[in-house]
Amino acid sequence: MLLYITGNEHKVATANDHLKPFGVSIEGRKVDGIVELQLDDVIEISKSKATQAFEKVQQPLIVSDSGWMFTALNGFPGSYMASVNRWFTAQDFLNLMNGKENREVVLRECVTYIDKDQVKTFVWDNKGLVLEEASGEGTPLDQIVTFMEDKKTIAKCENEGILRIPQNELWNDVGKWLKENNIS
């Protein structure tokens, strides 16, 4: 059983769903005292969290991190989204995008595996679109971004019980690598 250092049960369930076909089982564990560095790069944040967690539990494990990058805003807010989402309203984000032709937003997801011998990081970018107006109940960003052809926001989809972010190859890449390296 591989540890997934997170307190988010949904993340653990998602990882287990995707890794089961590769013969990998995940157990979620919250580990106190991990400091999330304030860096621009989600990959470096993920590696740092993995290293800190490994020092505490001394077992092979994975961690994940993500960041949202608005192409027209030169990648802002990136890894700072959690903080920015507390400060900004959906309208604040829309104001920043006012007059921008390129409304692409990228959700960069990162999973890092670590054991006593190695650190391996997997990255996947999901491309979405910042809409012209907010809808649905959720975080400010979830109210203005869509990954859906019908242009329903993440919040609107979540409110309707629809998978809000497209499944990607991230967990498949993780699963293939874990299987190839006999890690279960």
- In contact, 51 and 115? CB cutoff 8 Å: no
Which structure tokens are listed for 120? Answer: 């391996």
The 10 Å Cβ neighbour count of residue 86 is 9
Alpha helices in 61-130 (DSSP H): 81-87, 90-97
Quick check: is 65 catalytic?
Answer: yes
Dihedral sign for Cα atoms in the order 155, 161, 166, 172:
positive
Using an 8 Å Cβ cutoff, are 111 and 64 in contact?
yes
Dist. CA 67–CA 81, nearest whole Å: 6
8 A C-beta contact, residue 48 and residue 114: no
Q: Which residue among 17, 32, 65, 115 is the active-site one?
A: 65
Distance CA 87, CA 42 (A): 20
Q: Which residues are catalytic?
A: 65
